[in-house]
Every structure is written in structure tokens, then in C-alpha cells.
Amino acid sequence: MKEPVKSEFGTVGEKPKVEKKIYNRNLILAGIIAFVVLITFPIWNLQGKSVPPPDPKLDTPVIQKMPEKDRKCIEDKNYMRNYHMQMLDNWRNQVVRNGNRQYTSLSGKKYTASLQNTCLECHSNKSQFCDQCHNYVGVAPYCWNCHLTREKKLAEAK
């Protein structure tokens, strides 16, 4: 039945009947389902699986040789975990551009500000240490394009 259209002058006509229909209904619905499935693929694909948490190893020869009570990084463990990137960024600017190459830690100990000569001295296991978290959180710092790791030497020593 057609619906009458009313105005202030009374009934002026009838609304044409609109057929409520989706053209290509099956195809569109299949498309929407496929789209939703694809876009949520990463979520349900990993359902029930657990990604192993990063496990940075501290068992390098230099660290092993240290007496138990001296086995500390240059700053507090949590500070290093959260801010090592800012620290390294600051180091490189200060060292290369201002020639400030000596770092005094909070404990008053002095270190040479150098990724290659100080950090890697202890953490000579880049793939077991640095890469563990970097891969987990999906960051790829380009330090290693130029800075050499000590892994080759470590492998030869074993």
C-alpha cells in the first residue's frame, strides 16, 4: 500500500514505494565477512598462543668474572631498562660533538662514555641481550650499521 504524503494543504500525493533490497546481497555479505576475518587475523591467529617474553642473558665472560657484589650496570637496573636509549643518545652527542667522554654515574664511579668500549665490554652478547627486547617490541636501532659488536670474538673464544 502506498503511503500518502501530507502537507498543510492536505494530502498532496503518494510516496512511491521503495523496494528495500541490497543488490548483490550474497556477494557483499561474503565480502564483509572475508574482510572482517582478514583484518582480525592477527588477533585470532595468536589466540591461546603465548609469545615468550624477552629474556636478556647476562652470562657473558666479563660479567661472570665479576664478583657477585660488583655485578651492576653503570646505573640502576630499572633506570637502564627505561632510559638507556636517552642515555646513549645523549652520550653520542656529548662525546662526538663536545668531547665529553667521561661519565660519572650516580654512585660516583667514572666510565668512558662509549657504546662499543663500555657497554659491549660486559654485554658482548648482542643477540642474547640487546636483540631480545628490541625484537620483542619491534624496534630496530641502527647503531649496529657502524658500531661493531663483539659477538664474532665471543663465538671464537667458545
Residues that bind another protein (CB under 8 A): 86-87, 90-92, 94-105, 112-113, 116-117, 120, 145-148, 150, 152-153
> In this complex, which beta carbon is closest to another protein, that of residue 45 or of residue 98?
98
Cβ contacts of 109 within 8 Å, gap of 6 or more: 74
Minimum CB separation of residue 95 from another protein in Å reads: 8
Q: Minimum distance between the CB of residue 57 and another protein, rounded to whole angstroms?
A: 20
Task: Between 104 and 135, name the residue whose CB sits nearer to another protein.
Answer: 104
Question: Using an 8 Å Cβ cutoff, are 61 and 157 in contact?
Answer: yes
What cell numbers appear for 135 in the block? 625484537
Taking only Cα atoms into account, the Rg of the chain, rounded to an integer number of angstroms, comes to 32
Shortest distance (Å) from residue 103 CB to another protein: 6
Q: Which helix (H) or strand (E) holds 104?
A: strand 102-104
C-beta closer to another protein: residue 63 or 124: 124
Between 133 and 154, CB nearer to another protein? 154
Dihedral Cα 100, 104, 110, 114, nearest 10 deg: -50
